[in-house]
A and B are shown apart, each in its own frame.
Chain A
């Protein structure tokens, strides 16, 4: 950074111009706000010949006296409402203000100035179209600066605006870069996790199916269900998924119009991204079983899916039932408990820290889940 202070204090139009050029060069190579302030306060003071200079940042509805260079203390570190100080006035009105005697101007909060040396000032906003800062030059005497001095301060203000903008762009690029690297790592993790789920499904489907043909059909349907669960996750940017959305997706393959075969009644509940995959897969397995042996295997049967949340319990408890009605008579549980049954009985309950049961009553299958609300499953706001 150039050292403006060490130079001889005699100013001529030539040295002023040189200082201005050097300031612009210095600002174009400067990004951190502290360094910008350092360049600005020194250059503005030297070029204006003022007794003091303040560099003020806009901080929402406050002016923040960020840095100063003056013969006596000003307001460094303090914040004032935009509407109660002259730097705020300059920023809000997007114009340079020249005040030869501050005590004759009621835009000035006189009490704040009384402890200081200031008698007159120039304040110019930084970035005219939408000011983000202001540069103030102060004199101990009543004073009207020459028009070319005001112009030079405005030139410094423009160079400062560019420096602040390039700093902001630089910061957002660095952030974007970090974010990109983080996302890639996260993606890697999720892909591997999803592959582990696929591995699990393939292994356990293979174990439970008698022939390659049967394997292909069941496996493909499970992978399709998994893929739909992910589609929903992606659409929600891996945020929370609504239970109703999951139901629509997971049950759609089993009834063109859900209401034809399903009675779905319950309050709006959301699931975390991870858990929504288990919810989806559990619903898929329940529906597959219903379509194969249960209520959805004939034209008449229906599934009644109801859930309630007992908010008086601590923690609040969800009770959900999937009850099949109107299907063929059920003669008892299947002889062997396959992957689907295991998923139904254990998967979701395990994820949610609850209990699930699958009962084969003569009238139809009843699946019951009781689980506490948590980060993984909550009532929609």
Chain B
């Protein structure tokens, strides 16, 4: 199996811990797990190898995650949103898959499979 290092941006620590745990069960490694948009951007800009995929919460402590999404898109890293907002406007990211919260492990598995086949 291809290596699968996944990045997580999620402001709720408890939810982040669960996503990490679920991804671990799915055979992924955690490339990095961030609770703030700035931290995630700083890590992406630090010269670390790009992750193979990312799971992004949309509203990060009142800040929108879109700058991170844009950076990932620029680098060709596939990602999904995980959010409790039913119909949050996602300017420019209408085609990105959205995983609802609470998180269904099956939906997360599909997303991870998507990362491996190189789809966004």
Contacts and interface: CB of A to CB of B under 8 A. Distances in A.
Interface of A: 185, 188-193, 195-201, 203-204, 207, 272, 274-275, 277-278, 281, 339, 342-343, 346-348, 350-351, 353, 375-376
Given A197-B12, A353-B39, A192 B17 contact: no
B17 A195 contact: no
A46 to B, nearest CB: 50
Contacts of A278: 12-14
- The winner among A185, A197, A207, A343 for most chain B CB atoms within 10 A is A197
Contacts of A343: 13-14, 17
B14 A348 contact: no
B49 interface: no
Given A196-B101, A351-B35, 17 more contacts: A188-B84, A188-B86, A189-B85, A192-B102, A195-B102, A197-B15, A200-B15, A203-B22, A204-B17, A272-B61, A274-B11, A277-B12, A343-B13, A343-B14, A346-B13, A351-B12, A375-B62
A293 to B, nearest CB: 22
B13 A204 contact: no
Interface string B1-27: 000000000011111111001100000
A201 B15 CA distance: 9
7 contacts: A195-B101, A196-B15, A200-B15, A274-B61, A348-B13, A350-B35, A353-B39
B36 interface: yes
Contacts, number: 83
Nearest to A282: B13
Interface residues of B, number: 24
A200 B61 contact: no
B24 to A, nearest CB: 11
Contact of A193 (B17, B35, B39, B101): B101
